[in-house]
Structure 1
Amino acid sequence: GWADYDLDGDLDLYIVNNGNNKNFLFTNKGGNLKNSACLSFTGNQSNAAAIGTKIYIKANVYGNDIWQYREIAAQTGGGVSAQNNLVQHIGLGNANVIDSLIILWPSGLIQTETNVAVDNCLSILEKGGTTISGIAFNDLNGNCQIDNGEAVLSNMEITIEPGGQRVYTDQNGLYQITLPRGKYTIAQNNSTNWMSNCGGSPQIHEVEITNRSRNQILSGFNFSNISTGLCNSSDLSVTGATTALRVGFASMLAIKVENNGTLPGTNVELVVDFGSDILPTSSTIPWTSNIGTVYRWSLADIAIGESYTIYVSTMIDANATIGDTTRVGLAIGSLEKDCDLSDNIFEETGILVGAIDPNDILVSPEGTITSDEVLQYKIRFQNVGNTAVKRVVIKDELPNTLDLSTLELGSASHSFRFHIEDDRTLIWEFENINLPDSTTNELASNGFVSFRIKPASNLANGTAINNHGVIYFDFSEAVNTNIVQNIIEDELPGKGGTLNIFPNPAYKQANFSINPRDLSLKQVEIQSIAIFNSLGQLVHEARGLEQFRYQINDLQLTSGYYVVKVLGVDNNEYTGRMIVQ
């Protein structure tokens, strides 16, 4: 059997003889010993000895990316009397780090480690073990139990300690996370409109996972919620994201709609202006009507806590110009009051491309931003291999220059499980995605995730915000995306506020005013206004106003998406977006 008997980093040989024959130990004196690593494995869902585990190791050895393979097996000593040590030893030549370590556990779990240090022994515990799950819901009768007719709540953040892991409830109000043996405290973080409450106190669950509960699914760790009282109506929101916009090719727009309010949204209307270069061809929920590039969905009611995604298949105009910027404007509204109109309108921007790097990260706006702007990130992926992919994992370790408390998940191309590890690492898991390769089905081989987040507070002018993602396809090596960068450059302190447009979407009338950023400041008068359509053409202009509110009573604009630019008497420009129905 082979083992590192003297713990000097190389393998020694022990030979066992039967009968009265002596056994022999041959020690390896090292000689020309290079870098190496030793890895020991402990199963959690799998058997404790990790028998049957397959390990793929990638490192750059003498300038070449080299993959090595190991498998932990029983009876590997050449006979019934011997067994190799289960610790795996890997020679690495001049490599200073293991770039990718992919572990296929017997349970079926695929675990990936990156940037593993060499010349030491690493103990690796199989992640997961027991799945904990529960539901967040609106506890109408206050009995701390979910009953028929009580709405489930999506996008509620659940925290697991120790470890600082976070998961979010899905469209069914369900959260779930797989944890190894240990004791845990599970709590819900309150949102703006909902707070955990059972008998007058927040619910907290204490969970202990033992050997007896290993590999089980433990459910019922629910969170009953009541309204915080800050919102007594619906709170509709919409986001959208597209796959790559390749000229002459098919694409897809995913539209996520949700109601985070405390009352249902009734007679909900969704309006989308696709612009001149994107042609919708079909939708998982058919649109009700369209005029030119503007498409309308009558969505009826959206229940309390309800969230779902509409997938729209599109075609990019073959005559469009590569390099042009496209803008898709989305707006959602109903006849009732909405608690927060700021998230009822959304703009998805994209660049028309030819050939592209299919695995990348995008940010909008690009370049220089102010410290209070919201950044919209999108991580795109595509299977450019030669066979279907069963599982995709995306990781994004957020820099400290982003405020994690402002994170909002956006639309995605496929259903996923999401959680946060190590305080700041966002993880999307697409299990059983069955993503075809690009030669079999080019459109279906694409996917993406998206999210919104604000910069951290008190960042100095000139601070760089760098972000990138890592994409894993089955057990292939990790794919690192490009790095996107924003630079903080706050506007002069004299700027008085933000542009308010009401109603939005607009029909025959629209009102414009500058809302003070600080209520203690005097409202800024409007000096001039200019409205541009989705092609950038000026369609309305007024000058010499010097008034606090500008109103258009007979809105002579066709249905579509518009950018509004207002100049205040403080000589600052204020920009907003408007949908005209």
Structure 2
Amino acid sequence: MLQNLKNVFDHPKGCPHFCNVKNGSSVKQIPMKKNTLTKTYFLGLLICLAQMATAQQFTVSGRLETEAGAPMNQFRVLVTGSDNQVAITDPSGHFSFTLDAGGDYQITPVSCDEGYLNGVSTFDMVLIVKHIEGLEPLNSPYKILAADVDGSNSINTLDTTIMRQLILNHITEFPVSNFRFVQKDYVFPDPTNPFVPAPPSAITITNLQADINNADFIGIKLGDVNNTAVVDACGDNVSRIIGRVFNDQNTNCASDAGEPGLQGWTVEATNGTDSYYGVTTLTGKYNIAAVPGTFDVILHKPNGLWDACQDTLFGVVVTDIPTAGHDFAMQANMLCASMDVSLSTPFLRRCFDNYYVVNYCNNGTLEAQDASVEVHFDTFFTVLNSSIPWNTVDGNTYTFPIGNVGPGECAAFTVIFNLSCDAALGQTHCTEARIFPDTACGSPFNWDGPELRVKGYCTGDEVKFMIHNMGAPMQLPSNYIVVEDIVVMTPPINNPFTLTAGGMEVITVPANGATWRLEAEQAPGYPWGKMASASVEGCGTNSNGGVSLGFVTKFSPDDESPIIDIDCVENMGSFDPNDKQGFPRGALDEHYIPLQQSIDYLIRFQNTGTDTAFTVKILDTLSSFLDPGTLRFLGSSHPCYLNQLSGNVLEFLFTNILLPDSNVNEPASHGFVKFQIAPKAGLSHGTLVENSAAIYFDFNAPIITNTTWHTLGEKFLDANILNKMPDVALEVFPNPVSDVATFLIKSPHSWKGNLLLYDLAGRQVAQQPFANNQFQLNTKTMDSGVYWFRLDSGGQTLAQGKLVVVRD
């Protein structure tokens, strides 16, 4: 009634022309003079309102269930025709509409467009192949319809090929939909060929004159021919913003048939206070879980090669049901293939077979022709096999052809290798991937072309670093630093330096068992990071006959360019199978990283239960200091869905993972997911970024991982005494020391604070307060070796440096 009143008063021309008055099956029209508020008009209006008030209504209800009778919860059902409504099924699968008598309606269930892997396994593929070959035909028309995943109204090997691609995570959706529906009381003329005639997917009602309580449907999960899909909740039917990002090939700013989606793009919905995010799937679809309200929907482009017909959709209203059709049409402003590659592994164990997952994408506007990925493996690795063939091998460098890669297309492959028993426990192993074509798409206007690369080698008695200019001549000099473990050494020679095109600078340092790192400044405006760097671990031995380990991963590798990824991992013995790690690990106990340093998070899980896990779900609540708009998926052990839920929560959903328990198959009981995200801009030095995750195995209580932490703000320790305050000069004597070291602060002010002492690994080993400008440190109980100290006072660092302790 209220809606009918609104229709009258919102008539587009001010007043309706006629009032339709129903009398049984007939309709009488009372004319009403246009835009004239006369007695005739008000008489007609009163008659209309009286008719509306007494209009008879009926209830149309039904149920959605599977062939096995399982209720389908939270699925949408539409009514169209004389009225348009949406209903959501309840936990028993029921839905209901209240509709005006005499109307014509169509009742249509809607597919749940999430969880395409739900119920789909290799066993389903086996059953379909047996059906195709006539060995064991599928025994119901619903199972036959479920096998037709490509919507061709037939079953053939293309269906099993598509299912295999889904299981291997090469695609994330079926070409048509996830579910189809058939009217429950429909009788198939030929159950062995349910495609002819096409079974009814909607119920049509003409001239509604009574309640209907049997508008029932059978729901069919595509790809599931053994009824294992879980249909107790469709998370797609909550407050959501749904849309698609696509390549607008004909530049008409409309989504036309055949125009491909763009995968892996981030979309943000903001109401000015809170933001919610989604990531596009293989078909370009995004799905943002939000709260009811009004939002601006913003597209985050991966590069500058694309222009949007509209890059912000203003005033999108969200209710308690999904709102769809919020699409972004993308047009190329430059034709160029922009390739991206990433490497991921859960762990490295000596004497065992291990594996890498290699993910790649084309974020450009042009198809990449004859693309390939070149992977240089650590020298302690022996490559055994891979999911795609390699075509050339040069030492430990393998080239994998990946064919043509279209705009927005992403895929992955795996490589299995053995890690030698000769590797030292805790040794770092670095693997580098480079994708081709690797040509840059245009150049930033403020960069004049130099591109520095640093390589490091152990030559036996020394560590040699080479800074090589791969680009145009340097117009301005650059500086470099040399780091021993976490101590900045005095640069040996030629600092700053200038290189011609192809020029090289060589720096050598002693092979003393330390982990050496060289960082060289890139030219101003260089688009992929500020530093070129390389690290060398385990060259020579220290005074104790050992080497320092664990320093390589404290700093970021030189892989800011999207065409290169370097993954450095320490091998390990025993470990927590369900944990979270952040890379780079960061320096000192505070885990210091540069302000704008992206963090690679690795979440590992293992089924240590007593049965196979069918579903694994990971919920990761991001720190408020991280920017969800910079999220980048790097890889996973098994196919998974990435969803960004409300409250900065990431969901990684592994459906039908069939993860065996560790007692049955220990190597196969592990899994992982890896992603990258950057801190928000404008954060202050000292900001603490913490993160943890919850891992769910089927319906069990979650396993909460450890908490990772990083402190924003780069920190090294200086090899020599470095005075941090302008009116402070520090002397330490004797140094080296065997018994007692004296610290003398030369300053016009009196200082008090704390002396902090660190070992080679950056662990704090001592803290001693001081109350005046001269004090002593007793070193008699300390082991021989190199230590680093820092003097702090009132939240400031006065000085820092190196202290050498020797024992007679």
1:430 is matched with 654
1:447 is matched with 671
Structure 2 distance, partners of 1:349, 1:201, is: 37
State the one-letter code of the partner of 1:304: P
Change (3 A) 1:384 1:278: farther
Structure 1 distance, partners of 2:308, 2:687, is: 40
Change (3 A) 1:141 1:433: same
Most deviating of 255-264 and 308-317:
308-317
Q: How many residues align?
A: 374
The answer to whether the Cα contact below 8 Å between 1:284 and 1:312 also exists between their aligned partners in 2 is yes
Change (3 A) 1:464 1:430: same
- SS of the equivalent of 1:444 reads helix
The answer to whether the Cα contact below 8 Å between 1:471 and 1:480 also exists between their aligned partners in 2 is yes
Matched, 1:190 2:300: yes
Bigger Rg, structure 1 or 2: 2
- SS of the equivalent of 1:143 reads coil
The answer to whether the Cα contact below 8 Å between 1:193 and 1:261 also exists between their aligned partners in 2 is no
2:570 is matched with 351
Change (3 A) 1:462 1:155: same
- SS of the equivalent of 1:299 reads strand
Change (3 A) 1:186 1:400: closer
The answer to whether the Cα contact below 8 Å between 1:188 and 1:223 also exists between their aligned partners in 2 is no
Query: Structure 1 stretches of 5 or more lacking a match?
Result: 1-42, 53-105, 111-125, 493-581
1:170 is matched with 281
Matched, 1:396 2:584: no
Change (3 A) 1:440 1:295: same
Pairwise CA distance, 1:419:
1.9
Aligned alpha-carbon RMSD (Å): 3.5
Q: Deviations over 1:475-514 (max 9, x none)?
A: 111111112222223379xxxxxxxxxxxxxxxxxxxxxx
5 Å-filtered alignment, 1:375-386, equals 375-386=599-610
Pairwise CA distance, 1:236:
0.8
Matched, 1:469 2:693: yes
The answer to whether the Cα contact below 8 Å between 1:127 and 1:179 also exists between their aligned partners in 2 is no
State the one-letter code of the partner of 1:108: D
- SS of the equivalent of 1:380 reads strand
Pairwise CA distance, 1:263:
1.6
- SS of the equivalent of 1:405 reads strand
Q: Percent identity at matched positions?
A: 27
Pairwise CA distance, 1:430:
1.4
The answer to whether the Cα contact below 8 Å between 2:606 and 2:669 also exists between their aligned partners in 1 is yes
2:245 is matched with 136
Pairwise CA distance, 1:428:
1.1
The structure whose residues are more often strand, as a share, is 1
Query: Structure 2 stretches of 5 or more lacking a match?
Result: 1-72, 76-87, 95-229, 443-526, 529-560, 587-591, 717-808
Structure 1 distance, partners of 2:276, 2:237, is: 13
Change (3 A) 1:461 1:166: closer
Matched, 1:241 2:344: yes
Change (3 A) 1:324 1:379: same
Matched, 1:299 2:411: no
Pairwise CA distance, 1:301:
2.1
1:365 is matched with 584
Pairwise CA distance, 1:241:
0.6
Pairwise CA distance, 1:350:
1.3
Pairwise CA distance, 1:239:
0.8
Q: Deviations over 1:381-425 (max 9, x none)?
A: 111112111111112212123233322221122222212223422
Matched, 1:155 2:264: yes
Structure 1 distance, partners of 2:668, 2:283, is: 25
1:408 is matched with 632
Pairwise CA distance, 1:442:
2.5
The correspondence for 2:329, drawn from 214, 224, 231, is 224
Structure 1 distance, partners of 2:311, 2:411, is: 31
The structure whose residues are more often helix, as a share, is 2
Change (3 A) 1:314 1:385: farther
Structure 2 distance, partners of 1:185, 1:347, is: 39
1:58 is matched with none
1:490 is matched with 714
TM-score, length-normalised on structure 2? 0.42
The answer to whether the Cα contact below 8 Å between 1:203 and 1:224 also exists between their aligned partners in 2 is no
Matched, 1:108 2:232: yes
Structure 2 distance, partners of 1:489, 1:350, is: 23
Pairwise CA distance, 1:300:
2.8
Structure 1 distance, partners of 2:566, 2:653, is: 26
Structure 1 distance, partners of 2:236, 2:259, is: 34
